[in-house]
């Protein structure tokens, strides 16, 4: 399972600091992960705007098109003043 870490106000809005998720065949990039997580509800959909977030994969900066797997640790970090 992939581990998704949520930081700062993003964690506050979504009431969690981390989520573990089994990535399916259709979820191979951070953008696809955002699409999947957005199905959790309106708070998730509104908060997971890739233009307002920075990402890391295994503690290395990444972008929304970066590839991910079930063994990765993915972090969503809000840009200052965006959430």
CATH of the domain at 59: 3.10.20.30
Residue 20 falls within a domain, yes or no?
Answer: yes
What residue numbers bound the domain in which 63 lies? 2-78
Q: Is 39 part of any domain? A: yes
Name the residue with higher pLDDT: 80 or 59: 59
- Say yes or no to pLDDT of 67 above 80: yes
Number of domains in the chain: 1
pLDDT-based confidence at 81, cuts 50/70/90?
confident
Task: Read off the tokens for 75.
Answer: 């972090």
d(CA 77, CA 25): 25
Classify residue 52: in a domain, yes or no.
yes
- 83 in a structural domain: no
Q: Is residue 34 part of a domain?
A: yes
Residue 6 lies in a domain: yes
Helix/strand/coil for 33:
helix
Give all strands of the β-sheet with 2-6 in edge-to-edge order: 18-21, 2-6, 73-78, 53-57, 60-62
Write out pLDDT tens, residues 15-59. Answer: 999 999 999 999 999 999 999 999 999 999 999 999 999 999 999
Tell me how far apart the alpha carbons of residues 44 and 37 are, in angstroms, rounded to a whole number: 7
DSSP helix/strand/coil, 64: coil
């Amino acid at each position: 399972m992939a581990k998704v870490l949520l930081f700062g106000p993003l964690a506050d809005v979504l009431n969690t600091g981390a989520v573990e998720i089994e990535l399916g065949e259709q979820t191979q990039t951070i953008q696809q992960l955002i699409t999947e997580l957005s199905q959790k509800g309106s708070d998730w959909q509104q908060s997971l705007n890739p233009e307002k977030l920075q990402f890391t994969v295994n503690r290395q900066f990444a972008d929304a098109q970066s590839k991910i797997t079930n063994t990765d640790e993915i972090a969503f970090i809000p840009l200052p003043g965006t959430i």
